[in-house]
Amino acid sequence: MMEIFISPFSSNVFMANALIAGILVSIACGIVGTLVVLRGLAFIGDALAHGVLPGVAIALLLGFPGMLGAAVGALAMVLGIGFITRRSNLSSDTVIGLLFVAMLALGVVIVSRSQAFSGDLVHILFGEILGIRTGEILLQLGATVAIAITALVCYRPFLLLCFSAEQAEVSGYSARRYHSIMLLLVAVTVVVSFRTVGTLLVFGMLLAPAAGAALFSRKITTMMLVASVLGILSVYAGLLASYHLNLAAGATVTLVAAGLFFLLFAAKQLLGLTRPPVRGNLEGQHGQ
């Protein structure tokens, strides 16, 4: 009986590599996704996840790695949002929305004009978790370690910034600087994770586990840990289901992550739990 749960990973190298890569993605998304949920960066996370499409498409057309194009696309989004917001009277949400649709439309136009994306487009949008190689796992490992170290070093200003930008400024931290670092972490997570779960699904892995963790967590560190664990469970269950039921692996993983959130939400409603959200708990931590 246990072979059903173990043999797909012990007897198939591609499944084992997919599981390892998915675990690393889950940890990175658990850390950064917590910041996305608490700081209210879901819209920009979605924009970055979709805005890398033209960069990836151009890179592949020119013969460069898709991840390099994703990095250029994410950087263009972040710099563009900051520049236009500072030089205009428009709100950041408006600027993010404009760049989001512009980059996504540009990506679709590039793809539609080329016959070279008949097979690559599916991989770009939905990832190729079952085709992950050792080098890509090492790259994901390095990025995950860098994200964890950055979150640890910047923990205090991130904590204050999630509660209030004014509190961060009063405590001697530049709200703009640490907000930019947060955006950089989101961009890095999207860039290194799109090869695994794709540009359309990476946003789900950023949001669903962190949102599920927020339902029961009272501390930001606990939320990051729980979000990572939920992500890992989603990867394992999603890969297992895709293997036995012949389903699309990346989409199944993301669907399981979303399903876990709704399951936890329903459980909380049935149990009548009313714990304060993490955001509200930040005030208590700040005052201590």
Position 287 scores a pLDDT of 39
Closest CA to 206 of 136, 253, 150: 253
Closest CA to 74 of 176, 182, 191, 177: 191
Tell me the three state secondary structure of residue 274. coil
Q: What is the DSSP letter of 116?
A: G
Please tell me the total count of domains within the chain.
1
Burial zone of 61 (CB within 10 Å; 0-12 exposed, 13-18 middle, 19+ buried): middle
What's the gap between Cα 111 and its chain centre? Answer: 24
Position 64 scores a pLDDT of 85
Position 156 scores a pLDDT of 92
Give the separation between CA 24 and CA 240, rounded to whole angstroms: 17
Low-confidence ranges of the chain (pLDDT < 50): 280-288
* The model's pTM: 0.86
Position 163 scores a pLDDT of 82
**In contact, 124 and 67? CB cutoff 8 Å:** no
Give the separation between CA 68 and CA 30, rounded to whole angstroms: 23
- CATH for 238: 1.10.3470.10
Determine how many CB atoms are found less than 10 A away from the CB of residue 72: 18
**In contact, 254 and 205? CB cutoff 8 Å:** yes
Give the separation between CA 8 and CA 100, rounded to whole angstroms: 39
Give the separation between CA 250 and CA 247, rounded to whole angstroms: 9
Position 221 scores a pLDDT of 92
Q: pLDDT tens across 68-111, in order?
A: 888 898 888 888 888 888 888 888 889 888 888 898 888 878 87
Give the separation between CA 54 and CA 114, rounded to whole angstroms: 12
Give the separation between CA 202 and CA 184, rounded to whole angstroms: 16
Domain that holds residue 138: 3-287
Closest CA to 22 of 151, 201, 188, 185: 201
Give the separation between CA 241 and CA 235, rounded to whole angstroms: 10
174-177 own/partner pairs: CB under 8 Å, 24+ apart: none
